[in-house]
Structure 1
């Protein structure tokens, strides 16, 4: 019997062939299979290096050479945006836009004003500003990945490709936000909030092999998202005078600083505050935690409030560099506050893009905190252990 011809597996085929698990001839700019099937052909980044620079999203406002969000730099970079066909609109793209326009999965609370913004204004702006168009396509692809597990790998790859393209096109806009592009820029910022949570918490080596993240790497991923969201807030605040029509999305009604909550919730908040203050080691640290906890109360999701889930996100955008650094340094009081936030995040009922990240946050903190914090961790652990209510259906 003749020996079987050996085959060296290539890791550098196009994303379409990888998704279908077929051999790719790696033809550029379009491989043979994609040429034959008349579909777009995209190649991933060969090296495992991120293509986006680690700096604040807001840095682009006054920076002549704007760079992209600090947080995005650690997300997987599946595609080189220069190799995507940015000038074409494929059948797949039309399918995604149809999905976005017809399926009720709006990024924020689906009240009448927001429905008008996301389903009418956003598509109109998207066809004038391609960075928003690709952001919408990425978001729609992630929703399809959530709805249809059988095709989740293909839709996730497609989402990440569109997201990378959106961010690449958005980069030059950051240094030149004007009345004619402000609405589209801020709509993309809102989508970035959702996409950043929806993207899978994964990593890969230079050959594209999936890696298991350590607890520390998961914590870094969450921190990246938190820094990203704060940058989004700064971008939104920089041009609100031009975007009054978007007020239903970005203008949330926070609680009053001296608000008193239902007795059971007040007990929870006071226990958290007492434990945090008991471990303060300096006046500067006391000021930092005071501000953080004050905002935690202001953005506590009051039951039945139409802004409840928006408030949970809003707290994340308010955090100082000092608090984020305290999390990075794994200081117990900061980690404890983060765990309570994770428990609230877990309970968002209409935010499919959050996935299980709230529960993951609580688990991360539980693994990092010393044994002496077991009692104060009971509440977030209990809340994160509950099944999430059913999320938006198609």
Structure 2
């Protein structure tokens, strides 16, 4: 056995690498690890590290991610908070330098703001000029009034949009991550303090932008073949989409007493097509076959009457939303699915119940009609193919029910004929007018708000309401941890 080679341990690494107990390449003026994660390096800024007292020496944080998180940068520790309050994933992320030059940072912000107000804002609303004007003019003005987390959210979304067209631009990668990290930190702190009249609008708009960022970020989390996969377990369901949009719903319900009078929020909500759902499950409809055999499944797989009823309602409601959106897909109606399905339906997806997966595949089939929107381009094909990979082609029960989303996802052409789609879009206007008389999203939210009010009036209700708001932040944080995207940032989108 050859003698072991001697090893001389270097003590010249940067303080951040030392704190994290990893090898530093000692490259000046910025080591490779700090460059990779876009964080401060004391080689480059020795004054920052020297100004810390021994009590402020950073400690490595525990993370379930396989990637190094920017949260371990050389910055003061997060102030202590109540044990039940979820801690932000990032410590003072607004201090993370986007570039090494102050003037360059300012120019980056101007570039992002200009891109947001001229282009990105137009992509946040589908078929709604009123909503587009609000996102273009009113929302930035609200952000400038002191809602820093909203301003950072605007810049983060703008950076992601620019990055879509320039996927190799590492400055945009760092900007997108850093601004969203700052958004999540301040947004989470505001939720922990409580929603009130002064911050309700900004929190709603920020939650909406975080949900948008969560959805759009998925286009950068793929392997070279274009499939979204976990290294150990194949295709990964986009549960983060549901967590984020469900979070928006929770914020709206918790703050509706103030939002119902908002000249900003109400027009955005009213711009959505009115819900007109058949929840009986008795009438013939296009996706009714997805409910065939549901009762037998529920009775055999759910243990108690309460969970059985929750599952039954979750399936019926999800299919009802699919049927409604199937008739008016170009209005953006399919996006409503993410926010309106029940928490139980998301749980069924998490445990990969075949019926829930088949419903989800049909949902992504609906998104084929929105393939021209940059943040939804290719989503239908990619997600439908991913979900289908979870089924056995010899499964005689479920494989036939997956044929519609498969056929739609693989369809080549800008316009899908009615005989392929299964509905005549010529009647779309009439359906919208009919639906407008049967209630709208405002009435839907009124009912949701009443439920939250009832929760408040129950023993422990305020704690439950606060928990719902905190869970919203935690869902967003899990969804948009920038460190989880580091390994994929250099990969161009197809």
TM-score (normalizing by structure 2)? 0.58
For 1:158, the equivalent position in structure 2 comes to 175
CA contact (8 A) 1:137 1:159 kept: yes
Distance in 2 (CA, whole Å) between partners of 1:332 and 1:269 is 15
User: What is aligned with 2:320?
Assistant: 297
Distance in 1, Cα, partners of 2:404 & 2:214:
26
1:181 equivalent in structure 2: 199
CA distance in 1, matches of 2:254, 2:68: 31
Alignment correspondent of 1:257:
277
**Structure 2: unaligned runs, 5 residues or longer:** 1-23, 49-60, 72-81, 223-227, 416-494
Separation in structure 1 between the aligned mates of residue 219 and residue 199 of structure 2, nearest angstrom? 31
Alignment CA distance shift 1:154-1:144 (3 Å): same
SS at match of 2:287: helix
Q: Retained in 2: the 8 A contact 1:345–1:358?
A: yes
Question: What is the total number of aligned residue pairs between the two structures?
Answer: 334
For the 8 Å contact 1:338–1:361, the answer to whether it is kept is no
Contact 1:215–1:364 (CA under 8 A) maintained in structure 2: no
TM alignment of 1:88-237, pairs within 5 A: 90-103=106-119, 105-127=122-144, 128-149=146-167, 151=169, 153-174=170-191, 175-200=193-218, 213-214=230-231, 216=233, 218-220=235-237, 222-237=238-253
Q: Is the 8 A contact 1:142 1:159 kept in 2?
A: yes
Superimposed CA distance per residue, residues 126-163 of structure 1 (whole angstroms, 9 cap, x where no aligned partner): 11211011100011111112234564x54233212211
Q: 1:369 and 1:212 mapped to 2: Cα distance? A: 15
Query: 1:111–1:328: structure 2 CA closer, same or farther, 3 Å change rule?
Result: closer
**Distance across 2 between alignment mates of 1:277 and 1:351:** 38
Summarize the Cα distance change of 1:305–1:325 in structure 2 as closer, same or farther, 3 Å threshold. Answer: closer
Distance, in Å, in 2 between the alignment partners of 1:341 and 1:201 is 18
1:381 pairs with 2:406? yes
Change beyond 3 A, Cα 1:331–1:90: same
Rounded to whole Å, the distance in 2 between the matches of 1:17 and 1:342 is 35
Whether the 8 Å CA contact 2:325–2:334 is kept in 1: the answer is yes
Contact map agreement 1:323 1:334 (CA 8 A) in 2: yes
With over 3 angstroms needed to count, the CA separation of the structure-2 counterparts of 1:120 and 1:15, relative to structure 1, is farther
More off after superposition, 297-306 vs 347-356: 297-306
Paired position in structure 1 for 2:44: 27
Equivalent-residue separation in structure 1 for 2:349 and 2:43 (angstroms) = 44
Could you list the runs of 4 or more consecutive aligned residues of structure 1 that deviate by over 6 angstroms after TM superposition?
none
What residue number does 2:93 align with? Answer: 81
Structure 1 distance, partners of 2:203, 2:230, is 32
Give yes or no for contact 2:371–2:380 (8 Å, CA) kept in 1.
no
Q: Do 1:289 and 1:323's aligned partners in 2 also have CA atoms closer than 8 Å?
A: no
Kept in 1: contact 2:371–2:379 (CA 8 A):
no
Q: Where does the alignment leave 5 or more consecutive residues of structure 1 unmatched?
A: 1-6, 19-23, 32-44, 53-62, 205-210
C-alpha separation in 2, matches of 1:351 and 1:338: 20
Change over 3 Å in CA distance of 1:335–1:50 after alignment to 2 = farther
Q: Which has the larger radius of gyration?
A: 2
Quick one: structure 1 residues 296 and 375, their matched pair in 2 at CA, closer, same or farther if it must change by over 3 Å?
closer
Q: Distance in 2 between matches of 1:233 and 1:314?
A: 11
2:382 is the counterpart of 1:360: yes
Kept in 2: contact 1:343–1:358 (CA 8 A):
yes
Checking the alignment, whether the CA contact within 8 Å between 2:318 and 2:359 is kept in structure 1 is no
Aligned 8 A contact 1:114 1:249 in 2: yes
Instruction: Give the C-alpha shift of residue 103 in structure 1.
Output: 1.7
Which residue of structure 1 lines up, in the alignment, with residue 347 of structure 2?
325
- Tell me the CA shift for residue 343 of structure 1: 1.3
Contact preservation (8 Å) 1:255, 1:297: no
Instruction: Look up the match of 2:286.
Output: 268
Partner Cα distance (2:34, 2:147) in 1: 31
Relative contact order, CA 8 A, sep 6+: which one is greater? 2
**Deviating more after overlay: 363-372 vs 185-194:** 363-372
Instruction: Tell me how far apart the structure 2 counterparts of residues 154 and 346 of structure 1 sit (CA, whole Å).
Output: 32
Superposed CA deviations along residues 17-56 of structure 1, whole A, max 9, x for unmatched, are 89xxxxx99523799xxxxxxxxxxxxx99736679xxxx
Deviations 1:219-250 (A, max 9, x none): 25x11321222112110221123233211222
